Amino acid sequence: MTKTNSDLLGGSALNSSELCTDLIEQAVKMGAKDAEVFHIKSRTLEAVFEKNDLQVPKGDNYQGLGIRVHISGAGGVKQGFAATNVLSPDSLHSTLETALAIAKASPSDPYHWIPDPQPVKSVEAIYDSTAREMTLQDVVKEGAQLVDAARGCDSRITLDSARYAVDILEKTIVNSKGIHLKEKSSVFSCIGLGFARDGDDISSFDAEVAVKCHYSEIDPAQTGIRLAEKVISALGAAAVPSFRGSIIITPYAAEELVVDPIFFACNAQNVQSGRSKWANMLGAKVLSPLISITDDPTIPGAVGSTAFDREGVPPKTLAVIEEGVLNHYFYNSYTAQKDDTASNGRASGGDDSIPGISTTNLIVAPGEVSLNDMIASCSKGLLINRFSGNVDHVSGDFSGVVKGGQYIENGKIKHPVKEVMIAGNIYDLLKQVAAVSKEYIETEDAKLPYIQIEGCSVTGR
Amino acid sequence: MLELLKTVIQNCNGYGEVRYHHRIHTAIEARNSTLTKVEHRTLSGAGVRVLVDGCWGFVSTNDVSETGLKRALFEAETAAKTGAALRKTKVNLAPAAQAQGEFIYYEQSEEPDIATKIQTVLDAEEMIRKSSALVTGSITMYTQYEDEKFIVNSHGASTHILDNKPSFHVIATVARDDQLETGLKSVGVTGSWRDLLKQSDLNTLAKEAVELAIKKLDAGYAKGGQYTVILDPALVGVLAHEAIGHTVEADFVLSGSVVQGKIEQQVASKLVTMVDDGTVNGAVGMVLVDDEGVLGQKTTIIESGILKAYLHSRESASIFQAEPRGNARAFTYLDEPLIRMTNTFVLPGEDNLDDMIEGIKDGFLLKDLGQGGQADSTAEFMFGVAEAYRITNGKLGEMVKGVTISGQAFDVLKSVDAVSADFLMEMGAGHCGKFQLAKVDSGGPYLRCKVTVGGHHD
């Protein structure tokens, strides 16, 4: 599958650095005050399984870039952006012209900013050369392990789909202020989606995912077994009557119920556009003192780790929330300029979009209580394995169905639940956290414990 | 281009399909008096898929020279041969009506320049802020997919397609004390910029979004429980697409979805007839030719309450001995075709909305999708509702917020006892996600039925 796209670069042997530098020079010649080129080269090998069988082995080689230009305007800077994966000289020239045309048609904005170079320290162990050596045949074999292991657990399991993929990503960023950086990383991922069926009893749908930078850290068979255990334990679900009580949010459900709303409220773009509940709250207590959250881009071998962000700014480790107190918002260069501060390196995105904002590796600090003690403390409660619903990040109101949930009564897990809905306001509920578990689970780019919350409404039937 | 693709396919050792797809994706966004995003993206390349020894192989490449395409074909063949050893059940393809010739979905010459579009987005954003002093957040977004495709396969497809799908979103956030509420309105079409503006005046959308957000500031919460409700065309569309439509996609049926083995069985009230139809002119899910090169046709999924058909690719149609009708779709050249819906809707009936409201003692009129919507292969669903109004003793009352509805979609359809003559299909501003995105539309009449309403407990 290995191949190069060098013949696409107009027959020349330009590498990504030279290509980016050349475009920056052209942009400046054509009238740009500042310019930035973000280049991506990637290779993906993937095996897709459906209905317990191999569906298709897939391969892709991609190369593309995005050009951001700034031109002077009255009272500020005008910005334009265009991206392409057609890297012929004609196409590159027309992409640059489009970016400039967009800049000319846009109003001036005093906060547009292309950052200056800063010292950058590379992150260790985010590239595993095994990724380069693997073939489609290897990828198919790895994926088959997931399918066979899940099916081998119990004949009642249906794997709706499963995937194993290997990605190699090389990103290059060059700007007219002197930033010139490159980083190479690998990602191995496997995912299984399925359910169990025992006669007319169909479990709720569930997923199990593993995403790592290193081949040796992924065990597709274990992923399959964990999925099988989850869906089998959701068989025999029964309805429960409505109650107001305790909920325990598992790390699987916490991504959507806890991490996403907190990130939304800390995202400087939402703060500045009047959509964050936590605007003007730096230094204030926003959550229970049991909640501490760190965002750490420097963890060796972690999928969210990086030496520089989408704009070439090195991200710092941030103690975002310490014992419930809000310490930081997440900034890219634009939002930082607007708040008259420095970017903390959270610019995100690919070659085909202007920089957004994201976290790196988000860690919710584990607590001191065991999951078993948490369950034992519930007189009436619900263990939320998966949440399928909507969370209004602006207001914090959420409402949705609990999937693969377990009903707890008098400190004991009683049975899986079906057709149970939960509702409330997540920002309010996270102020009344009863306990955070010592156990935690690593997801793609987060480490999350179990969180117990009191006073949540549970609608049964 | 077609001749080049044909030359490449000639060398294929089994079934071969080459789909050159050139996309220009434009995104414009304004927030709080600032132009926050203008992106012009070109994504161009070929998806090469082969079927060799009963197994698929798929390789995508942005090198569309003859050499590049031939290399991709060779790699896809190698992938298929590798997979064939592992594949338990061999893939076969059902015969299908292969597309030939030109399919032009819109008038290209009507597109204005980027400056005009930027100004329209900025003007609508200003309209949100002007509408009320309570506005603290104003977002307007324009998204456009301009697609040119050439599809050739070894079963006779040879076609050129020009498609354009623009959409517009408006989000207004209002604040009072520490309360924040949001109103969202959107519109989308298959067609030109002018067709989009014809569908809805953007300034009207902006005003409606603000009005909705302000109404929510004063609204209370609903008490959860089982209710008789009226679903508006938008929510009927969501139910038809998310909760019913996905379960009848043949790949989900094969995985054991709830409708497996239920063809010719009663699955809904006799009042319900539901179709998927890619040929609806101007609807966002308009797909006259799918990404396997098959001509789009209307599929009647449920006819007077009886389940009649699943949605198919050529692969699944071969298993079910059915006819593929244009539901195999790929979002970009990087994606392989999957079974997807197009325009999915319930057909109108004969009832009058006022009479339908009059027949409810204690229930709700529910309008539009709020945040999110999800459903399982069991057809159990949960949708956020944007606007909910109490109905007491046949009279429409005040608005309540934070409402979600859930249930089993076929149970809901079985409980339908009234279907309005009014009909709308306008859920096409967003995307449907199933490993890849797709532009789809859905809709229907007003339906009176029973659902579980999730709300707050006293």
- Chain A CB contacts of B74 below 8 Å: none
* Confidence band of A5 (pLDDT split at 50, 70, 90): very low
pLDDT reported for residue A10: 31
**pLDDT (tens digit per residue) in B64-91:** 999 999 999 999 999 999 899 888 899 9
**Helix, strand, coil shares of chain B as percentages rounded to 5?**
25, 45, 35
Q: Give the one of A53, A81, A85 whose C-beta lies nearest to B38's C-beta.
A: A81
CB atoms within 10 A of CB B392: 13
Nearest CA in chain B to A104: B115
CA distance B138 to B115: 21
CA distance A33 to A76: 11
Q: Which of B242, B377, B401, B410 to mutate to test the interface with A (most CBs of A within 10 A)?
A: B377
Nearest CA in chain A to B84: A54
Q: Give the one of B83, B178, B456 whose C-beta lies nearest to A57's C-beta.
A: B83
- Chain A CB contacts of B83 below 8 Å: 47, 54, 56-57, 140
pLDDT reported for residue B372: 66
Nearest CA in chain A to B172: A275
- DSSP H helical ranges for A308-415: 333-338, 371-376
- Residue A104, pLDDT above cutoff 90: yes
For B395, list phi and psi in degrees, rounded to 5.
-115, 135
> What would the mean pLDDT of B427-443 be, rounded to a whole number?
85
> What would the mean pLDDT of B270-274 be, rounded to a whole number?
98
Q: Is B102 exposed, middle or buried (0-12, 13-18, 19+ CB in 10 A)?
A: exposed
Kind of pairing between the strands at A386-391 and A397-403: antiparallel
The residue ranges of DSSP E strands in A308-376, in sequence order, are 318-322, 325-326, 347-348, 356-357, 362-364
* Confidence band of B13 (pLDDT split at 50, 70, 90): confident
CA torsion A408-A413-A416-A419 (nearest 10°) is: 0
pLDDT reported for residue B456: 59
The structure tokens listed for A382 are 């619900």
Rg of chain A in Å (alpha carbons): 24
SS3 (DSSP) at A333: helix
From B160, B161, B116, select the one nearest B142 (Cα to Cα).
B116
Q: Give the one of B57, B180, B380 whose C-beta lies nearest to A56's C-beta.
A: B57
- Residue A4, pLDDT above cutoff 90: no
**pLDDT (tens digit per residue) in B176-209:** 988 889 899 999 999 999 999 998 888 889 999 9
Q: Would you give the distance in Å from CA B319 to the centre of its chain?
A: 25
Residue boundaries of the structural domains of chain B: 2-201, 221-454
SS3 (DSSP) at B53: coil
Contact B336 A353 (CB under 8 A): no
CA distance A387 to A393: 15
Contact B403 A399 (CB under 8 A): yes
Q: Which of B15, B41, B67 to mutate to test the interface with A (most CBs of A within 10 A)?
A: B41
**pLDDT (tens digit per residue) in A113-129:** 999 999 999 999 999 99
Contact A81 B39 (CB under 8 A): yes
CA distance A3 to chain B (A): 10
> What would the mean pLDDT of B343-371 be, rounded to a whole number?
95
Which of B18-22, B41-45, B254-258 has the least mean pLDDT?
B254-258
Contact B42 A197 (CB under 8 A): no
Contact A102 B40 (CB under 8 A): yes
Instruction: Decide if domain B2-201 falls under CATH 1.10.10.60.
Output: no
Backbone CA torsion sign across A140, A141, A143, A147: positive
The structure tokens listed for A363 are 């860690």
Structural domains present in chain A: 6-230 (3.30.2290.10), 238-461 (no CATH)
**pLDDT (tens digit per residue) in A307-350:** 999 999 999 999 999 999 999 999 999 999 999 999 999 999 99
Q: Give the one of B88, B372, B376 whose C-beta lies nearest to A205's C-beta.
A: B376
Indicate the DSSP class of residue A6.
G
Q: What is the ipTM of this complex?
A: 0.88
- Chain A CB contacts of B225 below 8 Å: 459
CA distance B379 to A345: 43
Report the percent of chain A where pLDDT is more than 70. 97
Q: Would you give the distance in Å from CA B42 to the centre of its chain?
A: 23
SS3 (DSSP) at B426: coil
Cβ-contact A114, A191 below 8 angstroms: no
For A244-304, give the secondary structure using H, E and C: EEEEEECHHHHHHHHHHHHHHHHEHHHHHCCCCCCCCCCCCECCCCCCCEEECCCCCCCCC
- Residue B375, pLDDT above cutoff 90: no
